[in-house]
Each structure stands twice: as structure tokens, then as C-alpha cells.
Amino acid sequence: MVCAGLSLQGACAAPEPDEQAVGSAPSAEPVAPAPVSFPRVSGLDVAVQQQLRNAHAAVEVAAENDRVSGDQYGELGMLYQGHGLRIPAEGCYLNAQHLAPDDFRWRYYLGVLYDDMTQPEKALETLEAALALRPDDGPTLVRVGELLLAQNRLDESGERFREALAGDQGVAVAALVGLGRIDLQQRRFQPASEHLEQALSMAPGTSSIHYPLAMAYRALGDTARAETHLLERGAVRPPMRDPLINEVRAVSNIGKLASRDRGADAVRMGRWDEAVVAYSEVVAADPTDAVSRATLATAYWRTGNREEARREFREALRLDPANARAHLNLGIVLAEDGEDDEAVVHLRRAVTTDPGLNLGHINLGAALQRTGRDEEAIQQYGTLLQLDPANGPARLGQAFSLIRLGRHAAARTQLEEALRVLPDEPAFAHTLARLLAASPDASVRDPQRALALVQQVASTLRTPQVLETLAMAMAELGRYDEARQSQRAVLEVAERSGDAALATRLRETLSVYEAGRPSREPFAQDDPVFAPPPFSGVASAEAEGSR
């Protein structure tokens, strides 16, 4: 097994093989059903222990009465296999195979089991026997292909992958990746890149394809493309439709429990790639698990796979429309993608369902502001400020909405209060300085205080915006030479940066100063301050990932 992620145990994540390959269990089929000992299970959940005891006892009773069937042994084997108990599972499958030699399932499961047990030769032998019963079974062909590849039997491996590719679209991506790996082993880098690109185009979220693809491009001399793929590398394995393995997961539900534990650990440690793998297994085992789907979606989001993230969030919400965190995260994803109208819907659902979601409130306020719904934004920010009076972004957002609505006196009051609550936040002093320097409302203006505030800010922060504010204050005080000098400095920066629209606006203001008049527009209508970006956060994911 070379960690292709197709095995029941999740391949690489398995901490240890359960035995040494040589000289362990017999590979030959038993002449009669052999007794299967009940394993040590003290480390398992009590309910699982009981489930196993009951199932084991039932089969034992049937065996004692000579009424045991292949199905009974096989299904007990599935239960053991699903719970990671490979030794008794092996015994059960061997018995099932003996009692029902023509049943494909038991050979297949046994082959997969041997692969998990790091007994590749037995796995190959058993899976080839399964193929004899069902020659066109896609998952078996892929598994045999991978085992042959691991043994460097590349031609035979390629045949199996091509057969799988021709017969079962559900395993096409895995088969193409297998062919790409064979090409790499043969140092045929061009066809390797083609096979892997094709696989990636069929399943763009399969981040594990990027690394071998990068190695192919590196060998082809395309370092830039190699580096791009290296940046996108991840642990998400090729998808493979494998109904039999899904049955094992469903029977035991252990795949789900183990994977969820692993996934929660990965989330806790910020290893989102691993979280994707683990929670994909959880969801495969239980497609109705809305919380795990939401966590999988978050993991996809954190690994940059936005399409999969959106799809999983929607599915999670279809299963559980009251999942506030899923609404919140989907809202943020949509907002990041510029789809603010739909984002507002989900963010509103999030804060309605869970009013304590500060991240939901701030994002809803920002989305409303971006879509020009300033009155609603002011209310939304106000709701958040009742929950969290020291929330700086909410105070600033509320002030900007007030400014855009022309309610400068209210904005000034809001900013004065914000400065009192958060005196060390320069954004408040700067915004207030602008308002005091350039508000069209004479009752709001106070150029002396504006100059003092902006000079204080400029002592530590000399951005173009601060210099522009300095010019506004100087102009309002009638110090036009200094205002022009400061404005020219800002204009130069804008011209160097190639921002033509900004330069035009700054030039217009400069001409106002040159005409001996002050500015009466503290912020242009298209100033980015009126469209705050979405606020991201990981707190939601932590909650989802918790066990």
C-alpha cells in the first residue's frame, strides 16, 4: 500500500501496521470455519464494546449449532474491520470466504484488510481472486493497480488502471492518478503531467494531485508551474466511488468516530488539509451528519477550495437549516466572493439563530454597508455595540455609514465616543480629524482640533490618507501653502502607484487649495472606507470541530 488514500483506514494516517507481513496469518482458505477469538476492546467506547460482544456472541451461537452462514461471518468481519480490529476481521472473512466462496464481497473486504495490514502480497492475491469473480469492478481494479504499482510491476498496474478508467467513471480520477504515477516512475514526465492534469480537471478539489504534478513540471523544466502546484498541494485524495467500503463504514460507524476524532484534532491544530481528509471520511460514513459537513466545508474553505466549501455548507444547511455557524461561514465565503446579497441572507439567519455571534453581526453590518444599505448597517452595528461596546470595527462602520448618509453631527458624536472607549485606535482619531476639517456642516468643523488630531496620528503613521487629512486641516485653517505641499506629496504617491482615479480626485482637491478654498468633502463617495472587507475568523470552526 502506498498511501493512495483509498484504503478503509485512511492509509497514511494509520499509526502502525498491526503485524509484520511475513509469517503471520495463513493466506490459504481454512478447510472449515475456524474459531475467532473475541479481541481486546478496552480502549473502545462502551457502547461499541457491547455492540461487538453481541454480534460476536450471535455468530458463535450459530456456529455452535452448525447454522452459521458466510453472510454472518462476513458481516461480523465488517463490524470488526470498521472498528479497526483487523485480526478478528481477518478470521471472519476467511470463514465467510470458505462458506461462500463465490461471494465477491468477502474476498474484496479481505483484500482491503490485508492492504491495511501492510501485507501487500496477500492483498494482491486476494483482490485478484475477487477480480476473477467480478472482472470489471472499478474499486478492485484500482486497488490492484496500486498494489502492482507499489511492487514496481508497472505494465500490469497500467493495464488495471486503464481497465478501471474504461469501465467505471466513479473511479476515473483515481485511475488517472495511478497512470500519472506510473509515468513518473518511468520518468515519462509529459504523459505524467497530462494524466494528472486530466485527473485534476475532473476533481479540482483533489489537492494531493498537485505534488506529483509539480514534480512532473519540475522535470520538464517548467519551474514556475511546478511552484504554483506546490503552493496548492494538499492531502485530499482522489475520490473513488466504493459502495462496499461505504457499507463497512455504515455498519460500524467507527470510520466516522475515528475520523471525526482525527479531524477534530486536525482542526484544533490548524491542519486543514488533514481535516478535509478526515471529515470527508466522516461524511462518507454518514452523509446526514450536518455538523461534520459544516466542518468539512470550513476545512475546504481554509484550504482554498471555495467551490467545495460552498457546496458542503449548502448541503449542511439543507440537512440542518438552524446551523448558525454554517450560515455564518457560508455568508463570509459568499461575501469574500463578492456575492453580498446572498451573504446578507445567510448572515442574517446566523445572527437570528444565534444572537451571540459577534462575527455574524460585524459581517452582516459590513455586507449591508457594501450594498449601500447604510440605515440597516447602522442598526446592525448598533446591535453589536450593545453586545460589545468596545467593538472597534462596529463603531467605525457605524460612523462611516452615518457620514455617507450626511449625518456628520451624529458621526462626530459616534467618533468622539469611540475615541473615549478606544483611545489608542488611530483610525478613530484620523476619521474624526477629517470630519472636523472638511465636513460641509459648519457646526461639526473644528480645524484646530482636526490639526492636533491628525498631527498626533502622523507622528506614527504617515500614510497618503493621513497626509491628505493633514492638507484638509491646513486648508481649513487657511494655511494653503502647507496644504498644497501635503496634497502634492499625496498626489505623487498616487501617480507613482498608477491609481488614475485617485490621482484625478487628488488633483481636483489640489486645484481647490490652489484657488484658496478648503475642501468640503471629507470622503469621496467611492472611498473604500464605505465598503469594508469581510471579516474572517476561525472561532466558528473551532466550535464545529470540537468533539
Partner 1 sequence: MRLSFSRVATTLLCVAAAAACDVTEAPSSRNERTPEPPTGGAATDIFVDVSERVGLDFVHVNGMTGEFYFNETMGAGGAVFDYDNDGDLDLYLIQGHMQGPHAPSSDARSPAGTGPLADRLFRNDLDIRADGSRTLRFTDVTEASGIDARGYGMGVSAADYNNDGWVDLYVTNFGSNQLLRNNQDGTFTDVIEVTGTDDARWSVSSAFLDYDRDGWLDLYVGNYLDFSLETNIDCFSNVRTYCGPDNYLPVPDRLFRNRGDGTFEDVTAVAQIREYGPALGVVTADFNADGWVDIYVANDFTENRCWINQGDGTFRNTALLGGSALNEVGDAEASMGVDTGDFDGDGDDDLFMTHLGTQTNTLYVNDGTGLFEDWSLRTGLGPPSLPYTGFGTAWVDYDNDSWLDLLVVNGAVAALERLTEAGDPYPLHQTNQLFRNLGNMRFDEVTHRAGAVFELSEVSRGAAFGDVDNDGDIDVLVTNNNGPARLLLNNLDNLDGGHHWIGLRLLGHTVNRDMLGARVGVFRDDGPPLWRRVKSDGSYASANDPRVLVGLGASERIAALRAIWPDGQIEEWHDVAIDQWTTLTEGSGRPPSE
Residue among 109 and 480 whose Cβ is closer to partner 1 = 109
* CA 238 to chain CA centroid, nearest Å: 16
Q: Does 546 bind partner 1 (CB under 8 A)?
A: no
* Rounded distance between C-alpha atoms, residue 290 and residue 277, angstroms: 17
Dihedral through CA 446, CA 448, CA 452, CA 454, nearest 10?
Answer: 60
Q: Which stretch binds partner 1 (CB under 8 A): 12-20, 307-315, 434-442, 461-469?
A: 12-20
Establish if 195 lies at the interface with partner 1 (CB under 8 A). no
Confirm or reject binding of residue 538 to partner 1 (CB under 8 A): no
- Which residue type occupies 119? Q
* Contact between 16 and partner 1 per CB under 8 A: yes
x/- mask, partner 1, residues 373-402, rule CB under 8 A, reads ------------------------------
Phi-psi region of 221 (alpha: psi -120 to 50; beta: other; left: phi over 0): left
Q: Could you give the 3-state DSSP secondary structure of residue 107?
A: helix
3-state SS string for 47-102: HHHHHHHHHHHHHHHHHHCCCCCHHHHHHHHHHHHHCCCHHHHHHHHHHHHHHCCC
> With contact defined as beta carbons under 8 Å apart, do 91 and 34 qualify?
yes
Q: Which is nearer to partner 1, 78 or 184 (CB)?
A: 184
Task: State which of residues 143, 195, 260, 271 lies at the interface with partner 1 (CB under 8 A).
Answer: 271
Question: Please, which of residues 229-258 interact with partner 1 by CB under 8 A?
Answer: 230, 233, 235
Among 44, 435, 474, 475, binds partner 1 (CB under 8 A): 44
**Given the rule CB under 8 A, which of 69-77, 144-152, 375-383, 496-504 is the region that contacts partner 1?**
144-152
Q: Rule CB under 8 A: choose which of 104, 194, 197, 211 binds partner 1.
A: 211
Q: Which residues 98-137 are close enough to bind partner 1 by CB under 8 A?
A: 116, 118-120
Question: Residue 11 has which C-alpha cell?
Answer: 492509509
Q: How many residues does the chain have?
A: 547
- Tell whether residue 18 is a contact of partner 1 (CB under 8 A): yes
In order of 106, 151, 376, the CA distances from 116 in angstroms are 15, 16, 57
Given candidates 39, 355, 382, 464, which one binds partner 1 under the rule CB under 8 A?
39
| By the rule CB under 8 A, 192 interacts with partner 1 | no
Element (H, E) at 115: helix 104-116
| Helix, strand, coil tally for the chain in percent (to 5) | 70, 0, 30
Q: How far is the CB of 15 from partner 1 (least distance, A)?
A: 5
Placement of cell 461471494 in the chain: 103
Compute how many residues bind partner 1; rule: CB under 8 A. Answer: 57
C-alpha closest to that of 2 among 146, 135, 183: 146
Does the footprint of partner 1 cover residue 346 (CB under 8 A)?
no
Query: If DSSP codes are grouped into helix, strand and coil, which group holds residue 169?
Result: helix
Residue matched to cell numbers 498626533: 456
Q: Is 459 in the site for partner 1 (CB under 8 A)?
A: no
Among residues 131, 141, 174, 226, the one that binds partner 1 under rule CB under 8 A = 226
Nearest of 119, 118, 120, 55 to residue 82 by alpha carbon: 55
- Establish if 1 lies at the interface with partner 1 (CB under 8 A): yes
Asked if residue 205 lies in contact with residue 176, where contact means CB atoms within 8 angstroms, the answer is no
- The answer to whether residue 34 forms part of the interface with partner 1 (CB under 8 A) is no
Listed ranges 265-273, 315-323, 330-338, 386-394: which one lies at the site for partner 1 (CB under 8 A): 265-273
Q: Does 24 bind partner 1 (CB under 8 A)?
A: yes
Between the alpha carbon of residue 344 and those of residues 319, 332, 373, 376, 515, the distances in Å are: 21, 9, 11, 11, 45
CB of 312 to partner 1, least distance (A): 23
Among 69, 151, 352, 371, the residue binding partner 1 under the rule CB under 8 A is: 151
Task: Please report whether residue 188 would count as binding partner 1 according to CB under 8 A.
Answer: no
CB of 12 to partner 1, least distance (A): 5
What is the nearest approach in angstroms of partner 1 to the Cβ of residue 275?
12
Residue from 85, 415, 437, 475 in contact with partner 1 (CB under 8 A): 85
The one segment of 177-185, 197-205, 293-301, 489-497 that binds partner 1 by CB under 8 A: 177-185
Give min distance, CB of 115 to partner 1, in A: 10
Residues 6 or more apart in contact with residue 531 via CB below 8 angstroms: 369, 370
Q: Determine which helix (DSSP H) or strand (DSSP E) holds 134, and give its type and residue range.
A: none
- CB nearer partner 1, residue 26 or residue 389: 26
Residue 221 binds partner 1, judged by CB under 8 A: no
Give the integer Cα–Cα distance in Å for 524 and 530.
9
Tell me the residue type at 251. V
CA 442 to chain centre: 51
For partner 1, the binding residues (CB under 8 A) are 1-4, 11-12, 14-22, 24, 37, 39-44, 83-87, 116, 118-120, 149-152, 181, 184-185, 208, 210-212, 214-215, 218, 223, 226-227, 230, 233, 235, 265-266, 269, 271, 274
